[in-house]
Chains A and B, each alone.
Chain A
Amino acid sequence: MPKVILNGKETEFTAGESLLAFLQSRQFSVKNMILEWNGQILTEKDPLGELRLKDGDTVDLFSIVGGG
């Protein structure tokens, strides 16, 4: 199984899986989440369902919560 590094941990994914499907299958919501995918910043506004994961990709998630 191919693997990505998700929040610093090796995590298996299904070949051909999209970034969105991968996150949803692991119960991650992308609402108010900043994603760092191989150094690129993404949000829910980006076409996450069209981005295909590759073996060795890194994905980090950062929650945006209210207050200021």
Chain B
Amino acid sequence: MNVNPYLSAAQQTILERAKVGVAGLGGLGSNVLSHLMRSGVTHFVAADFDVVSQSNLNRQFYFADQIGQKKTSALAENLRRINPDIELELHDCLLTEENIPEIFKNCDVVVEAFDKADAKTMLIAALSKTNIPIVAASGLAGFGRSNDIRVRKVGSRLYLVGDLTSGISPELAPASPRVGIAASIQANTVIAILLGLEA
């Protein structure tokens, strides 16, 4: 099923042939996938080891009746309610420096969508020696300061989305609007990379 009838035939072909990797299915990853599949991307590699918890519902694309379910299967269910025809290669595992290059090797772009700073840096390090473009996020906690969240191109293949300063802390929690802005910019950047548009 084609859920985005507003693309040109050429754009539709490009997006249907693309494969996008998403590392982490939390506030960033679950929302990035929703945007990408609604935009017309149909092939994904998605990985997360976690289960849905109540504290995820403030920003992540899951439902109350999915608490306790694996994020991989819960998200597949939700995305297929929008488009039953998407192809998801799911990895219910902890991503490491060793398995990341193998899991995402056939992807045209990889989205870094982890929560912890160490994991974010690890993924960028693990893929920085490959030719795969990376769209990562840093700095999105709290409310307000919408315009501080932007995308920067670093080197030839890394795109960093966020304000680079607002890390999560006891005073600064991740919330739906700001995490959503970052996720939207990440998804928009992925589409721009795939279609050869300005990021």
Contacts and interface: CB of A to CB of B under 8 A. Distances in A.
Nearest to A40: B155
The 8 closest A-B pairs by CB, nearest first: A65-B167, A41-B155, A43-B125, A67-B168, A66-B117, A68-B28, A68-B115, A67-B141
B26 interface: yes
Interface string A13-37: 0000000000000000000111010
B124 interface: yes
Interface string B15-33: 0000000001011110000
A8 interface: no
B100 to A, nearest CB: 13
A63 B154 contact: no
B140 A68 contact: yes
A34 B154 contact: yes
Where chain B touches its partner, the secondary structure class is loop
Interface of A: 32-34, 36, 39-46, 60, 62-68
B154 A64 contact: no
Contacts of B128: 41-43
Contacts of B118: 32
Interface in B138-181: 138-141, 152, 154-158, 160, 162, 164-168, 174, 179
